[in-house]
Homo-oligomer: A and B are copies of this chain.
Amino acid sequence: MQNNKRTEIARLGEFGLIRHLTENIKLKNKSSVLGVGDDAAVLSYPEENTRVLVTTDLLLEGIHFDLMYVPLKHLGYKSAVVNFSDIYAMNGQPRQITVSLGISKRFSVEDLEEFYAGLNLACEQYGVDIVGGDTSSSYTGFTISVTCIGEGIEGNIVMRNGAKENDLICVSGDLGAAYMGLQLLEREKAVFEGKPGFSPDFSGKEYLLERQLKPEARKDIIDALAKENILPTSMMDVSDGLSSELIHICKQSKTGCRIFEERIPIDYQTAVMAEQFNMNVTTVAMNGGEDYELLFTVPLHMHDSVSKIKGVHVIGHITRESLGNILETRDGSEIAIQAQGWNSLEE
Contacts and interface: CB of A to CB of B under 8 A. Distances in A.
Interface of A: 9-10, 13-15, 17, 33-34, 37-58, 60-64, 86-87, 89-90, 92, 96, 98, 100-103, 131-141, 143, 145, 147-150, 152, 154, 157, 159-161, 235-237, 248, 252, 343-347
A63 B98 contact: no
Contacts of A63: 102, 136-139
Contacts of A92: 40
Contacts of A42: 51-53, 90, 152, 157
A50 to B, nearest CB: 7
Contact of A101 (B40, B58, B102, B131): B58
Contacts of A17: 345
Nearest to A235: B39
B64 A136 contact: yes
A58 B102 contact: yes
B100 A56 contact: yes
Contact of A13 (B14, B145, B252, B343): B343
A139 B141 contact: yes
A58 B136 contact: yes
Given A40-B87, A50-B46, A344-B136, A143 B56 contact: no
Given A54-B131, A149-B149, 10 more contacts: A13-B346, A14-B345, A38-B90, A39-B160, A40-B150, A42-B157, A46-B50, A52-B149, A56-B134, A57-B134
B145 A10 contact: no
5 contacts: A56-B145, A57-B100, A60-B143, A140-B141, A143-B145
A162 to B, nearest CB: 11
Contact of A14 (B87, B252, B346): B346
Nearest to A244: B15
The 10 closest A-B pairs by CB, nearest first: A140-B140, A145-B145, A40-B55, A58-B100, A39-B89, A43-B52, A62-B139, A147-B147, A40-B53, A39-B86
Contacts of A50: 46
B54 A149 contact: yes
Given A100-B57, A147-B98, A347 B137 contact: yes
B13 A98 contact: no
Question: Which of A39, A45, A134, A149 has the most CB atoms of chain B within a 10 A radius of its CB?
Answer: A39
A38 to B, nearest CB: 5
Contacts of A37: 160, 252
Nearest to A236: B39
A63 B14 CA distance: 14
A55 B41 contact: yes
